Amino acid sequence: MSMGRRTECYAVPSHLLIPVSTLLTGGSLAARIQSEDFTKYSKLLNEEVNMASIEISDTQQTPSLTPHSHMQKSTGKKKTHLCSDCGNSFNSPSRLHRHQLIHTGERPFHCSDCGKSFNRQCTLKKHQQIHTGEKPYHCSECGKSFNSPSRLHRHQLIHTGERPFHCSDCGKSYNSPSRLQQHQLIHTGERPFHCSDCGKSFNRQCTLKKHQRIHTGVKPYHCSECGKSYNSPSRLQQHQLIHTGERPFHCSDCGKSFNRQCTLKKHQRIHTGEKLYHCSECGMNFNQKSYLRKHERIHIEHKPCYCLDCGKSFNRLSYLRIHQRIHTGNKPYHCSDCGNSFNHPSSLKKHQRIHTGEKPYQCLECGKSFTAQSNLREHQRTHSGEKPYYCPDCGKSFNVLSNLKCHQRHHTGEKPYQCLECGRSFTSQGHFQYHQLVHTGEKPFQCSDCSKSFTTRMSLQRHQRIHTGEKPYQCPGCEKSFSRKNYLQNHQCFHTGEKPFQCSDCGKSFTAQESLQRHQRIHTGEKPYHCTECGKSFTYQTSLQVHLRIHTGEKPYHCSECAKSFRHFTTFKTHKCKNHSRSQP
C-alpha cells in the first residue's frame, strides 16, 4: 500500500500505539486494513492521538511530543526547521510556528461566544460546535450525532465492542487513548491535578473541577421541579428521583429496588456473600469499606502524629490536620444555601441534605430513609432490639450513645445546660430548650380540637390523646393502659416495688423522676414558678395555679347543697363535712 503524501509522526506514548503484529494478523483490525476503509481508520486514529497530544500540552503535565526517528517515513523531504526549545524538526516554517505555541503557551485563536482561547484554528472550530450545536458526524448504527470524526469513531467502538488501546501493566483494554492514559494513573499513583484551596490532588481534571465547587459554592445544575442546585449532573439526577419516586435499580435476587446503583451493589453483597475489603493485618474480610476502616482501628497502636494543643495523637497526618481545625476554628467548607461553615467536607455534605431533602440511607426492613448513615444504624436497632451501650453504674442499656451519656448524668449529678434567666441547670439540651419556653411564654403548638397551645410538639401529641382516648402504653402485668410512657413506667414500679430514683441529699427514693425533682426543691429551696401579677414564687406549678385564683377571683369548687363556691379543694371538703354531712342519710 503506497502512501501518496508524507505523514508527520510524533512520539506517542507506547500505550497509545497499536502493534504492527496486531494490525497485520486476524481480527477486525486486519479486516479494516485489507479494506478500502483503512485509510479513513488511520486518519481517525491519528486525529485521536493528536487530540490526546493537545490535551497533554493544554494541561502542561507532560513534556511536548518529540519525533521518533524509527517511526518517520522516508518521503524525500528534509526537516530543516528546528525548534530551539526541544530540538524537534519540521519540514515547513508554518508547522514549526504551530509547534512553538506549545512552549510559549500562546493561544491566538479566540472563541467569540465564551472567550476561550486555543493554539490551533481547527481546535477552535471544533470547540465552536459546542455553541452552535452542530454535530455533522452521524452513527449509522443508532443515529447519534457527534461534532468530530474521532468522537464518532470512539462511539462506534461501543457497537463493535472493539477496544484497541491496551494497558501494558494489567492488560485492560479501552476504546480511546485518553481513557487508557487516565487508567494508567492508577498504576503510577500519579495525581497531577492539584486544588489550590486545600492542596488535595486528583488523577482527572474533571474530578478536580468538581471538587473545586465545594470551595467556590458553584452549583450549575438546577432542578426544574423545585429549583434546588447541585455541583454535578449525577447529583442532580439522583435528587430528581425524589420527585419521580423512581427506583430504577432492581435486585435480581429479592426484587428490592433502589434509587442508586452503588446502593444496589452494596445490597447485592448480602446475597453473594462477597467481601471485597480485606484487612492486611489479620486477613478479615468486609463487604463495605466503612466496616473495614472501623475494624482497622483495632490494630492501630502507634499514633505518630501529635496535636501540640491538646496532646491527642493520630495515626495519619491528614487526621491530625482535620483535628487541628477544632483549635484554630478554621472551617473552610461553606454551605452556599445558608452560609454555615464546616471543618470537614463530609460534615458539609451531611448538612446540605437538609436543603436538598436527600435521604440516601434506606432501612431494608421498613423502607424509611435517613440523611446520615449513623441515623440509619440507630434506627435499625429499633428492629433488632439491640442496645449496645451499657451504664456501668446501674446496668441499664441504651440503643443510642447520646442517651447513655444523658442517663449517666443522673448518677454523676452533672447538669451542663444552664438557663441564663433563672440559673436553673439541666442534664439534657432538650429539657433545657423546653424550660426556656417558660420564660418566653411561647407556645407554638396548638390543638385543633380545643385550641389549647403547648410548648413542645410532644406535649401536644400527649394532650391530643385526651380527645382521641388513645392509650398506647399497656402494662404486661395487669393489662392496664396509659396515655404516656412515663405513666406506664411509674405504674410498673407498683408491681415491682422498685424506686429507682434516689435523692442524693437525704436518701429518699421515688418511683418517678419528676417526683424526685419536685422533692429535691425542698433541699435546694428552688421556686421556679413565678406569679406575673405580684412576683411571688412557688415550688410547684400546682401551687402557682392555686395562688393565681386570688388575682382572678376564680372559685372552681361548687357546693351542690348550698351553691357556695371555694378557691381550694381542701376548704371545699371541710365545708361539706361541717355543714352538710349530717343532712346526708
Taking the chain, what is the end-to-end CA distance rounded to the nearest angstrom? Answer: 132
- Report how far residue 280's alpha carbon sits from residue 271's, in angstroms, rounded to the nearest whole number: 25
Residue closest to 428 by CA, chosen among 451, 448, 410: 410
Domains and CATH numbers, the chain: 115-190 (3.30.160.60), 205-389 (3.30.160.60)
H-helix or E-strand containing 234?
helix 233-244
Q: What pTM, to 2 d.p., does this model score?
A: 0.30
- Report how far residue 561's alpha carbon sits from residue 579's, in angstroms, rounded to the nearest whole number: 9
- Report how far residue 231's alpha carbon sits from residue 209's, in angstroms, rounded to the nearest whole number: 10
Q: Residue 469 in 3-state DSSP?
A: coil
* Residue 279 · residue 261 · CB < 8 Å: no
- Report how far residue 263's alpha carbon sits from residue 400's, in angstroms, rounded to the nearest whole number: 25
Cα 376 vs. chain centroid, distance in angstroms? 13
Walk along the chain (585 residues) and give the pLDDT tens digit of each residue: 434 433 344 444 444 444 433 333 334 433 433 344 434 444 444 444 444 444 434 444 433 333 333 334 444 567 788 888 888 888 888 888 888 888 887 888 888 888 888 888 888 888 888 788 788 888 988 888 887 888 888 788 878 878 888 888 888 888 778 788 888 888 887 888 888 888 888 888 888 888 888 888 788 888 887 777 887 887 788 788 777 778 788 888 887 787 777 778 878 877 887 887 888 877 788 777 777 877 776 665 556 677 888 877 777 777 788 888 888 888 888 888 888 888 888 888 888 888 888 888 888 878 788 888 888 888 888 777 788 888 888 888 888 888 888 888 888 888 888 888 888 888 888 888 878 877 887 888 888 888 888 877 778 888 888 888 888 888 888 888 888 887 888 888 878 888 888 888 898 888 877 888 888 888 888 888 889 889 888 888 888 888 998 999 888 888 988 888 988 888 888 988 888 876 554
- CA atoms within 13 Å, Cβ hemisphere of 236: 15
- Report how far residue 478's alpha carbon sits from residue 473's, in angstroms, rounded to the nearest whole number: 12
* Residue 200 · residue 54 · CB < 8 Å: no
